[in-house]
Structure 1
Amino acid sequence: MKNKNFDIIIIGGGATGSGIALDAASRGLKTLLLEKNDFSEGTSSRSTKLVHGGVRYLEKAVKQLNKDQFNLVKEGLKERSRLLKNAPHLCSKLTLITPIYKWWELPYMFVGLSLYDFVSGTKGLGRSGIISKSKMLKKFPVIKKDGLVGGVKYYDGSFNDSRLTISLLQTARKHGADCRNYNEVIAFKYDDNQKVIGVEVLDKINNEKKLYEGTSIINAAGVFADKVNELDEQKAKKMLDLSSGIHIILDKKYLPSKEGLMIPKTEDGRVLFILPWMGKCLVGTTDDPTTLSAHPEVKENDVEYILRHLEIYFDLKIDKSEILAQWCGIRPLVAPDENADTSSIVREHEIRENKSGLISIIGGKWTTYRKMAEQLVDFVYKSQNMKKEKCRTKKLKLIGSKKLDVNYVSNKVDINTNEYLISQYGDKIDEVLSSVEKIEYLKEGEPYTNAEVIYTINEEFVKKPMDYLVRRCNVALIDKKVSIEILEKVLQIMKIELSWSEEQTIKEKEEALSLLNNSI
């Protein structure tokens, strides 16, 4: 592609950037999205997998009479409803239960969660309720029995973050957007008035430099937004405070129910979730100030923190060797004017414009990605004095959901693989399975096939083994051992499909193993 002129060039292929690409393209804007690594490789694939308004934000809103916190919850609940309708193959209703060990906490929690229902209004997913001790023990056999009074249940949403990013990008591409991973913006191009009019890009796969021109350039680089901003203004004021959070994956025996647990207050006043996800038990998260890293490492003290709290609420002692996978993500929080604990920052977003015309969008959270994108594109129309086209994403069904039949059964694969493919690819299951003449499993007893690998290469921007293992099939996020066991077969398929040399294949294997054995 030569120097094409775009209406909008977006830097960053995570939740925010992908949402902007879809919003802009669906309104008819000529759109280019550039991501320096793989799509959703950073924060956007390392969330707690919840689509929510934020129960803890509501508690703070009430206690502190904080209108900003309250509005954030209300907006999140509205967007939660839209997301569950627009991508039902990737998003679903989830029952969350809080175990109660003191009698006085039962009415307190029930009233608080009933307020959450009230704020949800017509967008609510169900009414909160009190659960007896006997039912709690039946649902969660390993929960600590001593002192258990009962529980309080409420409803929120669960989703697959990295898969949602791909669905957004596929839908954006269908509307004409050009979406490119492994394309790093290394400099900006300016006109005679020092207004930014383009980007110089390094294609990291082909090791080529390219120049793209655009009317509006958007910095939606998430945790790397400050780095992108510094390409435009060397002494730019810091926009973000960074906070890290880890998650661990355990066997489903620790959470045999399809319902999750919310621990409302840890030893340092945080919220801990124990959730069913992809047939496993996901536990997280922590919240600590951190520094920027492309592959943040999981710290031992954070793992010990989570295991310590599990021992408080479970009657089983969990050994570190039982952890199937673990990962760390970095939250891009809008920096406050004064130094503050990152756990107390309101996770609202902001849109800022430099003197050069570079537009940055920072902060926010997954649940409100669509609203953030809508506001950003509205801002672009206003800044360019263009006649605004109406936003079309409120009711726009994403790729994979348009003809979704959750009861569909393919005769090409076993029932477990069928269920897995529908949960990941929705109504594209037949397209996935039609990618090969003969379906071969990558490992006996696991749902991953050669057809899925080839489909993700052809249709889902896969360029490297970790793109598939982490962010398309998610195996590396739920079982590191299995991901290492199937790596060789994935490499051999990619070698043929992407015409790799033996030398390139060895290099890709070394890179993948390094990440799998350290930090994905």
Structure 2
Amino acid sequence: MNRTAFFDQLPTQTFDVCIIGGGATGAGCALDAALRGLSVCLIEKEDFAAQTSSKSTKLIHGGVRYLEQAVKQLSPDQFRMVRKALHERRTLLQNAPHLTRSLPLLTPCRSWLEGMYYSIGLKIYDWMAGSRNIQPSRWLSKTQVLEHVPQLQTEHLHSAVLYYDGQLDDARFALALIKSAAKEGAVVLNHTEALAFGYSKSGKVRKLEVKDTLNGHTYDIQAKVFVNATGPFSDQIRTMANAKSRPRIRVSRGSHIVLEKSHLPGNTAILVPKTDDGRVLFLIPWKDQVLVGTTDLEDELSDTPRPTLAEEKYLMSYVNRYLKTPITEADIRAGFTGQRPLIEAIFAKDTKSLVRDHEVEVDDKTKLISILGGKWTTYRLMASDTIDAVCEQLKVKKDCSTEQYRLAGGEAYTPDLFLKLQQTYGLTEEVARHLARTYGTEAMDVLALTQENPDWKQPLVAPHPFIQAEVIFARRQEMACTPEDLLYRRLGLGLIDAEATQRVYPLVERLLQ
């Protein structure tokens, strides 16, 4: 992953496909296309996964809420989407075992009738997953529930249903896709903004002027096919290519707050099955913290969405409704907001009722391919459908081969890798586990840097398990260009501890230099 070398390739090459957008879907498209033998260039205006793809609820799931909507509305579209997502859930867990894990979730119930309702619903969820189910759901008594999560309030607790979904490190997963695509021959560029398209005589997009936003230099990218994979920003690229394009995307904001682990120890998450405004909410163990989210409100598109005070209070109110120890604003360690790209539906009254499925659109005039909608769990299917459309334009027949592909760091990963790291480099168990779960087998490359400079084995910032070598590795091997790239995506510290992020910023700047 050498940014300078990648830029040097732009003037000398006509790519089969140029992908605009370096989030989950764009990265998935780049890997899929490269594995099909196509020449690939991917550009991202900010950093890889800087927007929605690093600000999710970190779940790999079929969507319990979508299943409930499917049943109530007798919606075949919702059923199909849940089934596809449940199939893909297992694939994500297998393809990046270091960045994913199975996650037990408790759904508290206030009555026998409510327990029966959710127990039946989650048995349907199990049944739809079929042989690819993680573990079967179970209806637990009040006593059993408190053995799992003793922090739950008991006043209105009757029982709970325990079921299983998956969890992922979303920013690192997107980066693993990018690194794997580069390994397979793709040119990948962050901090590279699309400025203007160029066209053939027939009106098809054939060229894209881009700018390196770090130094202002501009380049032309020549490609046979262009893909728009910019998520909530899709309409901007569609309009850039064809000014007559009508808007297709409605944006929904999902905000989260982060609390100390002490508020929900253990590894079991809580699903609040129904909020006062008809949504679901999660309290999830995440990187030795507790992640609470998400909201779901229609929003204006923004490069810098942030949680509002009203959203923070909304999320806090449900923590205080379900956990014994109340929290205040002082307990919030960090917060973040992601914007979901929902495909416009003519009769939808609000964003929470829109289907989270995807659509591949090919513009009649310019032949720009746009991948619209979707969600993290189905990124691979979205990429497959998109690259099928690319191959159709190129008039080649090459099949998708990503389902069995182990991503960077996951190739020979085993759950006991942390023990080898601990013994070989004299690490604490906490640091060894962190490195194994973040880098997989590439953790050995990170730690090899400590032989070049023993100081890089030192902690980066207390009380977190990061070490200084990770900054060097991110700069040399993962195209981290700015402190924000490092703190918010490569490490994710900025999303879990705002105070520690500010404290370590000067050191990160020095190490990057």
CA drift at 1:481? 1.1
Which letter maps to 1:177? Answer: A
CA drift at 1:285? 0.3
**Match of 2:197, SS?**
strand
Per-residue Cα deviation, 1:430-485 (whole angstroms, up to 9, x for no partner): 10111242122222442222210010111111000011101111111111111111
- Counterparts of 1:372 and 1:339 in 2: how far apart (Å)? 23
The counterpart of 1:415, out of the listed 398, 404, 429, is: 429
Per-residue Cα deviation, 1:353-412 (whole angstroms, up to 9, x for no partner): 1211111111000000001101111111112222x1121101000011111122123232
CA drift at 1:144? 0.9
Instruction: Check the 8 A contact 1:432/1:455 in 2, yes or no.
Output: yes
Per-residue Cα deviation, 1:44-71 (whole angstroms, up to 9, x for no partner): 0000000011111111111111000000
Instruction: Check the 8 A contact 2:334/2:497 in 1, yes or no.
Output: yes
Instruction: Check the 8 A contact 2:99/2:172 in 1, yes or no.
Output: yes
Aligned match of 1:429: 443
Aligned match of 2:466: 448
- Counterparts of 1:406 and 1:116 in 2: how far apart (Å)? 28
**Match of 1:228, SS?**
helix
Aligned match of 2:72: 63
Which letter maps to 1:22? Answer: L
CA drift at 1:339? 4.9
Per-residue Cα deviation, 1:79-109 (whole angstroms, up to 9, x for no partner): 1111111111011111111111122111111
- Counterparts of 1:491 and 1:383 in 2: how far apart (Å)? 45
**Match of 1:316, SS?**
coil
- Counterparts of 2:215 and 2:12 in 1: how far apart (Å)? 17
Aligned match of 1:485: 503
Per-residue Cα deviation, 1:222-247 (whole angstroms, up to 9, x for no partner): 11111111111224200100000101
**Match of 1:241, SS?**
strand
Matched, 1:369 2:383: no
Aligned match of 1:382: 392
- Counterparts of 1:435 and 1:8 in 2: how far apart (Å)? 36
- Counterparts of 1:66 and 1:74 in 2: how far apart (Å)? 13
Aligned match of 1:359: 369
1:264-279 alignment, distance < 5 Å: 264-279=273-288
1:146-157 alignment, distance < 5 Å: 146-157=155-166
The counterpart of 2:33, out of the listed 16, 20, 24, is: 24
1:52-131 alignment, distance < 5 Å: 52-131=61-140
**Match of 1:395, SS?**
coil
Which letter maps to 1:419? Answer: R
Aligned match of 1:502: none
- Counterparts of 2:391 and 2:42 in 1: how far apart (Å)? 18
Instruction: Check the 8 A contact 2:149/2:268 in 1, yes or no.
Output: no
Aligned match of 1:234: 243
CA drift at 1:207? 1.1
Instruction: Check the 8 A contact 2:369/2:389 in 1, yes or no.
Output: no
The counterpart of 1:167, out of the listed 164, 176, 188, is: 176
Aligned match of 2:24: 15
Matched, 1:472 2:486: no
- Counterparts of 2:214 and 2:310 in 1: how far apart (Å)? 37
Aligned match of 2:143: 134
- Counterparts of 1:216 and 1:53 in 2: how far apart (Å)? 32
**Match of 2:359, SS?**
strand
CA drift at 1:161? 0.4
Instruction: Check the 8 A contact 1:101/1:148 in 2, yes or no.
Output: yes
- Counterparts of 2:30 and 2:149 in 1: how far apart (Å)? 42
**Match of 1:172, SS?**
helix
**Match of 2:196, SS?**
strand
**Match of 1:97, SS?**
strand
Uncovered stretches (5+) of structure 2, i.e. residues with no partner: 1-7
**Match of 1:458, SS?**
helix
- Counterparts of 1:165 and 1:378 in 2: how far apart (Å)? 21
Instruction: Check the 8 A contact 2:320/2:327 in 1, yes or no.
Output: yes
- Counterparts of 1:302 and 1:264 in 2: how far apart (Å)? 18
Instruction: Check the 8 A contact 2:32/2:401 in 1, yes or no.
Output: yes
The counterpart of 1:6, out of the listed 10, 15, 25, is: 15
Matched, 1:35 2:44: yes
Q: What is the root-mean-square deviation of aligned Cα atoms in Å?
A: 1.1
- Counterparts of 2:444 and 2:85 in 1: how far apart (Å)? 34
Which letter maps to 1:154? Answer: Y
Instruction: Check the 8 A contact 1:3/1:213 in 2, yes or no.
Output: no
- Counterparts of 1:109 and 1:264 in 2: how far apart (Å)? 9
CA drift at 1:3? 4.2
Aligned match of 1:500: none
Per-residue Cα deviation, 1:179-228 (whole angstroms, up to 9, x for no partner): 00001010001112221101000011121010010000001111111111
CA drift at 1:24? 0.1
- Counterparts of 1:98 and 1:323 in 2: how far apart (Å)? 24
- Counterparts of 1:216 and 1:15 in 2: how far apart (Å)? 20
Aligned-pair identity (%): 39
Aligned match of 2:512: 494
Matched, 1:458 2:476: yes
**Match of 1:243, SS?**
strand
Q: How many pairs align?
A: 494
Which letter maps to 1:389? Answer: K
TM-score w.r.t. length of structure 1: 0.93
**Match of 1:216, SS?**
strand
Which letter maps to 1:370? Answer: R
- Counterparts of 2:313 and 2:488 in 1: how far apart (Å)? 24
- Counterparts of 2:145 and 2:352 in 1: how far apart (Å)? 30
Per-residue Cα deviation, 1:308-335 (whole angstroms, up to 9, x for no partner): 1122112222111100110011000001
- Counterparts of 1:142 and 1:474 in 2: how far apart (Å)? 27
Instruction: Check the 8 A contact 1:44/1:161 in 2, yes or no.
Output: yes
**Match of 2:112, SS?**
coil
- Counterparts of 2:348 and 2:438 in 1: how far apart (Å)? 41
Instruction: Check the 8 A contact 1:3/1:211 in 2, yes or no.
Output: no
Which letter maps to 1:483? Answer: T
Instruction: Check the 8 A contact 2:21/2:43 in 1, yes or no.
Output: yes
Aligned match of 2:152: 143
Matched, 1:214 2:223: yes
